[in-house]
Amino acid sequence: MISKNRAKFIKSLQLKKFRKQEGLFVVEGGKSVLEVLQSNFTLIELYVTSSFYAENEFILKLAPIPVEIVSERELEMASGLQSNNAALAVVQMPAYQFEEPVASEFALVLDDVRDPGNLGTIIRIADWYGIGKVYCSPETTDLFAGKVVQACMGSLTRVKVFYTALNTLLEGYEGPVYGALLNGKNIYDERFDQVGLIVMGNESNGISAGLLPLVSHPITIPGHGGAESLNVAVATAIVCDNVRRPKS
Amino acid sequence: MISKNRAKFIKSLQLKKFRKQEGLFVVEGGKSVLEVLQSNFTLIELYVTSSFYAENEFILKLAPIPVEIVSERELEMASGLQSNNAALAVVQMPAYQFEEPVASEFALVLDDVRDPGNLGTIIRIADWYGIGKVYCSPETTDLFAGKVVQACMGSLTRVKVFYTALNTLLEGYEGPVYGALLNGKNIYDERFDQVGLIVMGNESNGISAGLLPLVSHPITIPGHGGAESLNVAVATAIVCDNVRRPKS
């Protein structure tokens, strides 16, 4: 069972301040918990419902820490979600070191993406397209917030996310810097040569004025209808798809 | 000012039951309200804050109904959002008739998309790519829910959304029926000939078993990394981008 105090502690990890203080974050939902369990992340606590345990006994028996079977009601007392009938893990924040972008691969650069769902979805997209590094401005929403972790759907364990000053990053980078803008080159005419940084801007304001001069290759997704813009996660996916599609 | 009773009435429109009963729905947020104001939708009530009024006086003076200036606090009493410092409109549900898909265009078909943010984002994507019709299964989340309208960002006024039995729709259709699956033809090898239906499945279960035999062209977005799937709105965007990109 989860004691009231423990539930309160776990719930406190919904706040960035406490996550930072404890070096811990919470992973919820069956799929995400199973992914983190099979990753090299360090689990501290693992709570599951009896039905989830029954469905996933084989994997859960291999868990490196005791698996506590709790009621759905107990789980929800500790949960940051509206409902959780499966699993919750308290996980140590990964302590990977900062790595500069390598000149032989693509990486994403997020300039103040504020919506947790967007950040999580973008990490899942990066994972899908085999992009292993995402650089975020310090103002980008916190990676370990519940809604981000949930939208990541486990991709958090495979994509490295760094928070860093983007102007320094871009200034020191020698490859092409692509940036999604409304008046760039038609993305269908751009020949992506399997190396570069892709800068995506804030939901309301796009790429900040200070970074624009550092974008060497402005690109645009052509629209055909009335919408003024695309959601930033959607635009990221389309850029990644164009980057990865075979060149004809 | 918004009376307490009026605020309560507007707030009741967050529930499908009352929306259906009254034939009304709520549009919130500055951009969406301005779009609906410039569309052929019928506005019933329009509330704005004084700062929003000052910023958009030119457009608001052309409104066909009285514009009521209210405080942010009053607006939030009627609002379905966590905060609203701009505008809220009560709008009549559009009464367009059902239209069969035309054999010379693309349309989207959504099989039980349940997340309001996904449905709204998909409508915005349809609008961006010039796709004017979206067919939804009866179980798909309600178009006029607050979160759907918000995620549409005004595209609701340009894209027609029909709720209908999808098996009847697909059975009666003579063009190609594309469906996003995990084991279809590589999307980069598919030659989309500017006509067809594109079926996207439910967030957890994909396209339902009953519809699968009606998909004549199963297609797949190739993955390069570890993620098992893409968010349905993201996948819709990538399919639309591949449909619309010029053929080489």
pLDDT at B153: 86
Provide the CATH number for the domain around residue A162. Answer: 3.40.1280.10
Pair (B212, B180) in one structural domain: yes
Give me the pLDDT at residue A234, please: 97
* Burial classification of residue B42, based on how many CB atoms lie within 10 Å of its CB (0-12 exposed, 13-18 middle, 19 or more buried): middle
Residue B100 maps to a domain:
no
Q: Residues 138 to 157 of B: which have CB under 8 A from any A CB?
A: 151, 153-155
Q: Tell if the CB–CB gap between B127 and A227 is shorter than 8 Å.
A: yes
Whether the CB of B191 is below 8 Å from some CB of chain A: the reply is no
Examine the domain organization and report whether A82 and A149 are in the same domain: no
Q: Residue A78 in contact with residue A47, Cβ under 8 Å?
A: yes
Residues of A in contact with B124 (CB under 8 A): 227, 230-231, 234
CA distances, A173 to each of A40, A146, A156 (Å):
30, 32, 25
Domains of chain A: total: 2
Q: Residues of B with CB below 8 A from A227's CB? A: 124-125, 127-128, 153-155, 158
CB contact under 8 A, A238 and B233: no
* SS3 (DSSP) at B81: coil
The helix-helix angle for A116-128 and A232-244 (nearest 10°) equals: 10
Q: How many CB atoms lie within 10 A of CB A100?
A: 13
CB-CB under 8 Å, A188 with B246: yes
- Please indicate, yes or no, whether residues B121 and B229 belong to a single structural domain of this protein: yes
A172 touching B (Cβ < 8 Å): no
From the candidates B238, B239, B244, B247, which should be mutated to test the interface with A, based on the most A CB atoms within 10 A? B238
Provide mean pLDDT across the span B53-73.
94
CB contact under 8 A, A234 and B233: yes
Last residue of a domain, one of B44, B68, B92: B92
Chain A nearest-CA distance from B164, in A, is: 24
Can you tell me whether residue A202 is helix, strand or coil? strand
* Same domain, residue pair B222 and B129: yes
- Separation in Å, CA of B165 to nearest CA in chain A: 27
So what's the pLDDT on residue A175?
94
Contact residues for B194 (Cβ-Cβ < 8 A; gap 6+): B104, B105, B106, B243
**Interface check A119 vs B, CB under 8 A:** no
Per-residue model confidence (pLDDT) at position B198: 98
Range of the domain at B176: 106-244
Q: What is the pLDDT of residue B164?
A: 97
Q: Do A244 and B224 touch (CB under 8 A)?
A: yes
Tell me: do A16 and A134 sit in the same domain: no
When CB atoms are compared, the residue of A121, A128, A241 closest to B225 is: A128
Provide the pLDDT for residue A103: 81
Per CB-CB distance under 8 Å, the chain A contacts of B154 are 227-228
In a domain, B99, yes or no: no
Mean pLDDT of successive 10-residue stretches along chain A, which has 248 residues: 92 96 95 92 96 95 94 92 90 92 93 96 96 97 94 92 97 95 94 93 95 97 90 97 89
Nearest Cα residue to B212 out of B182, B241, B247:
B182
**How many A×B Cβ pairs under 8 Å?**
106
Q: Please tell me whether residues B44 and B164 are part of one structural domain.
A: no
Interface membership of A133 toward B (CB under 8 Å): no
HSE of A223 in the Cβ direction (CA atoms, 13 Å)? 17
Mean pLDDT (chain B) is: 94
Contact A160/B at CB under 8 A: no
Q: Are strands A177-186 and A160-163 parallel, antiparallel or unpaired?
A: unpaired
pLDDT at A104: 87
Q: Answer whether B131 sits within 8 Å of A158, measured CB to CB.
A: no
Tokens for A109? Answer: 């650069």
Q: Does A246 touch chain B (CB under 8 A)?
A: yes
Predicted confidence (pLDDT) at residue B226 exceeds the cutoff of 90: no
- Picking from A40, A62, A92, the residue at the C-terminal end of a domain is A92
Among candidate residues A63, A92, A121, the one where a domain is terminated: A92
pLDDT band at B120 (very low <50, low <70, confident <90, very high): very high
CATH number at residue A41: 3.30.1330.30
Say which of B124, B221, B231 has its CB closest to residue A121. Answer: B231
Residues B61 and B118 in one domain: no
Same domain, A117 and A27: no
Res B12: pLDDT: 96
For residue A122, the model assigns a pLDDT of: 97
pLDDT band at B103 (very low <50, low <70, confident <90, very high): confident
pLDDT exceeds cutoff 90 at B170 = yes
pLDDT tens track for B138-154:
999 999 999 999 999 88
Taking only the tens place, the pLDDT of each residue in B40-49 is 899 999 999 9
Domain membership flag for residue B128: yes
